[in-house]
Amino acid sequence: MMGLGVPYRFVAKEEVHKMPFIGTFFSAKWAISLSCAPMPTLAAMSRNKSNPACSLAIPFLVFPEGTFLPHEGVRPFQLGAFNAAVVTGVQIVPVSLAGTRRFLRDGTYLPRPASVTITLSPPLLAKPAEPDSSDWHEVVRLRDAAREQIARNCGEPLL
């Protein structure tokens, strides 16, 4: 977590907060919890000036696959973070993690000794949209570009 060298907040579904070990790192100070039904949009949350945890002044760290599976490969990404980037005009910095499958295996809650490599790709900028609106072609373009960069740097194939 210290490898990024900048402050950030996690965005995760509520059930992640209840997981042993991992849930410990998702304190209210570090994380924004999203309920999956109905799912508030990250874009709407980022405009909520009354909630300091949602301020765009601190970057969000989002895992866009939405879940972790035991087999290798980069799964399709959810669109929420990319839609938020288009609506709010913020950049996406793809962060690739290589070695995490050895560190924390699916179905287990305790990490194992392993090396994890963090790669930060160049920022992806959204083409400007109308204020408070979204351009789905741009959302999909950002998602696909981020997914390609992450797959290239994590050493796993696109699924």
Residues 127, 135 contacting (CB under 8 angstroms): yes
Side chain identity at 152, as an amino acid letter?
R
Q: pLDDT of the chain along its 159 residues, tens only?
A: 666 777 777 777 777 777 766 677 666 556 666 555 444 455 555 555 444 445 556 677 788 886 767 788 999 998 888 888 888 788 889 999 898 888 777 777 677 888 989 899 999 998 866 765 668 899 999 999 999 999 999 999 999
Report pLDDT for 153: 95
The pLDDT of residue 149: 96
pLDDT tens-place string over residues 111-132? 788 898 989 999 999 886 676 5
Element (H, E) at 61: strand 60-62
- What is the Cβ-side half-sphere exposure of residue 142, based on CA atoms within 13 angstroms? 29
Answer yes or no: pTM beyond 0.85. Answer: no
Rounded CA-CA distance 138/129 in Å is 9
3-state secondary structure of 115: coil
